[in-house]
């Protein structure tokens, strides 16, 4: 007889999230701190960032459908906020985890979802980005925590497709007029090359 184990809060929200998005046939991939913990260095986070592919014409009613799985909007005008920012702010009531649903549309975002690898977590199967794609997302975000996450991913995955990372960072640097995106990446790599071997 198998012992019944209570899912952790993270397992519970991932199970409900997978159930919700699969019921709506929405392609998705985990990004943010949870993905960085899986692919790099584990760290504490109380929110979940998820990249989804859903045309804007289908956003109406999508947020409401999350209630069946315990997800409620964090704002009274969550849909209006999403139309301005492409981020739908939700909260998973059973675990009190915040959920940021990022509506992707760029070719890179579509590729990130298409290239995702599935992982089993508790009773849920969840898609994780490739290490390269998560590095690109975090390099574009550029917060101090993102740069620390990149270092953790590099430690865990020394053999990366650096050509892909550089190619996309060049495109984002040009499109956003932020040449520092590429410069930060090159600085990080050169700093690692100069670090003494343990």
Got the DSSP string for 157-186? --S--HHHHHHHHHHHHHHHT-THHHHHHH
Assess if CATH 3.10.100.10 describes domain 1-129: no
Residue 149 confidence (pLDDT): 95
Please tell me the pTM assigned to this model. Answer: 0.91
pLDDT band at 92 (very low <50, low <70, confident <90, very high): very high
- How high is the pLDDT of residue 1? 42
In which residue are the tokens 């599935």 written? Answer: 118
Strand, helix or coil at 150? helix
pLDDT for position 4: 56
What pLDDT, on the 0 to 100 scale, is given for residue 165? 97
**In the chain, where are the structural domains located?**
1-129, 130-198
Predicted confidence (pLDDT) at residue 37 exceeds the cutoff of 90: yes
| Tokens found for residue 99 | 């959920």
Q: Which long-range contacts (CB under 8 A, 24 or more apart) does 76-84 make?
A: 83/56, 83/59
- Nearest-10 Cα torsion for 186, 191, 194, 198: -130
State the pLDDT confidence band at 197, using cuts at 50, 70 and 90.
Answer: low
pLDDT surpasses 90 at 122: no
Mean pLDDT of 36-50: 91
Find the mean pLDDT for residues 113-128: 93
pLDDT at 18 over 80: yes
Which pLDDT does position 109 carry in this prediction? 98
């Amino acid at each position: 007889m198998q012992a019944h184990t209570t899912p952790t809060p993270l397992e519970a929200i991932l199970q409900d999230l997978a159930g919700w998005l699969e019921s709506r046939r929405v392609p998705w991939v985990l990004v943010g701190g949870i993905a960085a913990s899986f692919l790099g260095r584990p760290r504490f986070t109380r929110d979940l960032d998820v990249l989804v592919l859903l045309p804007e014409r289908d956003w109406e009613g999508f947020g409401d459908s999350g209630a069946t799985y315990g997800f409620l909007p964090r704002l009274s005008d969550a849909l209006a906020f999403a139309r301005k920012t492409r981020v739908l702010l939700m909260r998973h009531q059973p675990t009190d985890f915040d959920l940021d649903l990022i509506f992707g549309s760029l070719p890179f975002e579509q590729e990130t979802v298409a290239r995702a690898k599935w992982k089993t977590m508790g009773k849920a199967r969840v898609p994780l980005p490739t290490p390269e794609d998560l590095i690109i997302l975090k390099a574009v975000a550029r917060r101090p925590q993102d740069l620390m996450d990149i270092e953790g991913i590099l430690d865990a995955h020394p053999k990366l497709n650096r050509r892909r990372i550089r190619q996309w960072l060049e495109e984002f640097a040009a499109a956003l007029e932020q040449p520092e995106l590429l410069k930060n990446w090159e600085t990080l790599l050169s700093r690692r090359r100069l670090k003494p071997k343990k």
